[in-house]
Chains A and B, each alone.
Chain A
Amino acid sequence: MINALTILFCLTLIYLAVTTRLSAYVLVLVLQGVLVAGVHTLAFFHDLAWSHVAVAAGVLIVRTGLIPAYIVKIMRDLDMRHGDGTRRYHPGFLIEMAAVIVGAFVLSHQLSRFAPVNVIPLGAAIAGMAAGGLLIVRRRLLLAHVVGFLIIENGLFLLGLGVRAEMPWTIELAGFLDLFVLVFLMGIAINQLKTHFPEGGSDELTGLRE
């Protein structure tokens, strides 16, 4: 069942590649939050480690509730509810995303020859982290970059399960701290960006050059 949820996680990445709407990005974050919480809940029933419960609860509250709500608030404040400025769907991004996901699972399978890993969760984790990076590189909107970073972090939460780490709960909570404070600070930065960079696009960040 864990494998099924992590495959669903990969499907959300495909959806990410075919949409250009910011509201869709937020929906992806919510879906991924639910899936990651589900994965950790199932992991709890597998090894009865209470850290999984803490992580699942935290993910549900923070990643499925607070963070998407905060991003929607920022979108409202910056007056960018639906559009993200890219305007057009490019099939090339879908092909790249598919290649990333396939490559991640191939890598995970190769790693399984050298170390005891859970191939599918590890593949999904690597795919998530790579997909977040791809979103950052391919999308010009700064808020999309924030979403990309959050997707990288979602992949990170799956990575612990993938490598079969008996992860100390402190590390998981450290991930939440990073996420919360980072989004908070990015929210501040984005609100300040509205004053200086009204379009909110990365092509406006070109003032600093050699």
Chain B
Amino acid sequence: MPAILALLILPLLATALAAWSRSERLGHRVTLLGGIAHLAASLYCLLARHDPFPAGSWLAVDPLGAFFLVILSHTFVLVVLYAPGFLRRMEAPEYARSRRLFYPALNFYLLANTLVLIVQQFALLWVVMELTTFSLVPLMYFYRTKESLEAVWKYLFLVSVGLVFLFVGILFLGVSAHGVVDYAAFVVSRMTEAAPRLNPLWLKASFIFALVGLSAKIGLAPMHPGDIDATSNAPSPIAALMAGSLRGTAVLALLRFYQVVAPTGVRPFADRMLIIAGFLSMAVAAIYMWRSRNFKRMLAYSSVEHLGIIALGIGIGGVALFGALLHLLFNSFGKIALFFMAGNIHHRYGSCEIDRITGLTRRLPWSGFVWGFAFFYIVGTPPFGIFFSELYLLLGMIRGADWLPLTLLLALLMVIFIGMGRAAMRMLQSPDPAPQSIPASGERFELSHALSLYALAISAPLAILQPAVLFDALRGIVASFGGNP
């Protein structure tokens, strides 16, 4: 009961309280308390393998869902801690309405994403996926500019079309279970048990439509454009939330389909589709990172790259799937830091154009330092966590003797490293003078820097020490997919 309270009821109450209250401070405190309670409950469910819901119900916290709940909660708490600093910069009258909606929308976002992670019934899963889209709209439209409206429109439209595809996928999944599983048992566990008896043709069609549909939300190519515009035009804390948790939520929805497909003869086909989607996403990211003149768009393409890596890991399976799950966790840490610093840089320079950000280490020493640190983190430099998760992925490819995909992966990673590095280093060390309005120095160490450094630093001990409580849970998840981590 306490876990259900923290996971569902508190975010709901926090949404209502934040909406009713006119005090931003109260809204922040309620949101933060709710987020911390949510994080504690998520950690408890993961580490103690505790499911607070009755067996066989449409809601359940299985180990896979618990892991994603921890990623969601952790990202959420950090964003809420960052939020007051961000809102202090947005005191102009045109942002008044957006500020009033900020904390209620944030709590609703947490509730909607939590529902996706714990729902086990496929039809209900689709409904709550829609809710996550709607929960983001007021947050993405914070600036109320022409550009943000365009981004909201494109995101809403593309994701909605994607969710229609997902709907078709769920429909076909139901058709594949015709005569095998009845409606009352259209839940993940029962479908997985009955999987070998499902119609393979409809199961294949179901997975394809689910993959295409969810690609728009995950941010996989070619359904990524709406996501890129939305992420790059959203306020930095919201972009961090999207990059750190929303995509993970959509990955879990895809994994629910994969759980049904895994014990069947359709699995090799599904794996091929995931590998193709992964490489396509990395290729698109590699190309557009070189072309991008806007550092927030560059970070958005970095998300496309990393989700491509995750799709690749799921498709390869075994130790690569283990790496993919770790990559989800560590990618969320890195994106938090990058987007928090992107917000600082954007605020101080008044622009997101890479060419206009010069001498970052001199102008904003702390933000520049963390930005550089975060760049090395996200490109997979040891001893950061992403290095280890990519290593597991490579190990999976070596074990499977997948030499061509391995070579292609390494080549793409190199291209992305150089492309992103060019932009990051230019921002940090370009000698061109910055606009006169930017002071040469004087940036103080702020909470945003502390949060970012924490997010970056925590991955190394996790990856190196490999705490048994977390890593055993991940190994158990991989084993449930029939893999050997």
A residues within 8 Å of B by Cβ? Answer: 114-115, 129, 133, 136, 142, 145, 149, 152-153, 156, 159-160, 163-168, 170-171, 174-175, 177-178, 181-182, 185-186, 189, 192-193, 196-197, 205, 207-208, 210
B residues within 8 Å of A by Cβ? Answer: 123-124, 126-127, 130, 134, 137, 141, 145-147, 149-154, 156-157, 160-161, 163-164, 167-168, 170-172, 174-175, 178, 183, 186, 199, 201-202, 229, 232-233, 288, 291-294, 297
- Report yes or no: B183 in contact with A168, Cβ–Cβ below 8 A: yes
Q: How far is the CA of A165 from the CA of B180 in the complex (A)?
A: 13
Residue among A167, A181, A186 making CB contact with B130, cutoff 8 Å: A181
- Report yes or no: A178 in contact with B186, Cβ–Cβ below 8 A: no
Residue among B124, B178, B293 making CB contact with A166, cutoff 8 Å: B178
- Report yes or no: B174 in contact with A208, Cβ–Cβ below 8 A: no
- Report yes or no: A159 in contact with B233, Cβ–Cβ below 8 A: no
- Report yes or no: B174 in contact with A156, Cβ–Cβ below 8 A: no
Chain A residues with CB under 8 A of B291: 210
Q: How far is the CA of A178 from the CA of B163 in the complex (A)?
A: 9
A-B pair number, CB within 8 angstroms: 108
- Report yes or no: A149 in contact with B157, Cβ–Cβ below 8 A: yes
Contacts A177-B130, A207-B146 known; 12 new A-B pairs at CB < 8 A = A136-B161, A149-B157, A163-B175, A164-B175, A165-B175, A166-B183, A167-B171, A168-B183, A178-B126, A178-B160, A192-B149, A196-B146
- Report yes or no: A189 in contact with B123, Cβ–Cβ below 8 A: no
6 contacts between A and B (CB under 8 A): A159-B171, A178-B126, A181-B134, A192-B149, A208-B151, A210-B293
- Report yes or no: A193 in contact with B167, Cβ–Cβ below 8 A: no
Chain A residues with CB under 8 A of B168: 129, 156, 159
Asked whether A185 and B154 contact (CB < 8 A) given A196-B146, A210-B292, the answer is no
Task: Look across to chain A and name the residue whose beta carbon is closest to the beta carbon of B157.
Answer: A145
- Report yes or no: B201 in contact with A208, Cβ–Cβ below 8 A: no
Q: How far is the CA of A171 from the CA of B174 in the complex (A)?
A: 10
- Report yes or no: B201 in contact with A115, Cβ–Cβ below 8 A: yes
- Report yes or no: B171 in contact with A115, Cβ–Cβ below 8 A: no
Chain B residues with CB under 8 A of A185: 134, 137, 156
Chain B residues with CB under 8 A of A177: 127, 130
Distance (whole angstroms) from the CB of A170 to the closest CB of chain B: 5
Query: Which of A142, A170, A171 has the most chain B CB atoms inside 10 A of its CB?
Result: A171
Asked whether A149 and B171 contact (CB < 8 A) given A189-B156, A197-B146, the answer is no
Chain A residues with CB under 8 A of B171: 156, 159-160, 163, 165, 167, 171
- Report yes or no: B149 in contact with A189, Cβ–Cβ below 8 A: yes
Q: How far is the CA of A156 from the CA of B229 in the complex (A)?
A: 28
Chain B residues with CB under 8 A of A142: 153
Chain B residues with CB under 8 A of A114: 201
7 A-B pairs closest in CB distance? A168-B183, A196-B146, A208-B229, A171-B123, A165-B175, A170-B123, A163-B175
Chain B residues with CB under 8 A of A205: 150, 153-154
Q: How far is the CA of A101 from the CA of B233 in the complex (A)?
A: 39
Distance (whole angstroms) from the CB of B153 to the closest CB of chain A: 5
Query: Which of B124, B149, B153 has the most chain A CB atoms inside 10 A of its CB?
Result: B153
Q: How far is the CA of A164 from the CA of B172 in the complex (A)?
A: 10
Q: How far is the CA of A156 from the CA of B171 in the complex (A)?
A: 9
Distance (whole angstroms) from the CB of A175 to the closest CB of chain B: 7
- Report yes or no: B130 in contact with A168, Cβ–Cβ below 8 A: no
- Report yes or no: A208 in contact with B134, Cβ–Cβ below 8 A: no
Task: Look across to chain B and name the residue whose beta carbon is closest to the beta carbon of A160.
Answer: B171
- Report yes or no: B123 in contact with A174, Cβ–Cβ below 8 A: yes
Q: How far is the CA of A145 from the CA of B171 in the complex (A)?
A: 24
Chain B residues with CB under 8 A of A170: 123-124, 183
Chain B residues with CB under 8 A of A160: 171
Chain A residues with CB under 8 A of B134: 181, 185
Chain B residues with CB under 8 A of A163: 171-172, 175, 202
Distance (whole angstroms) from the CB of A171 to the closest CB of chain B: 5
Distance (whole angstroms) from the CB of B36 to the closest CB of chain A: 31
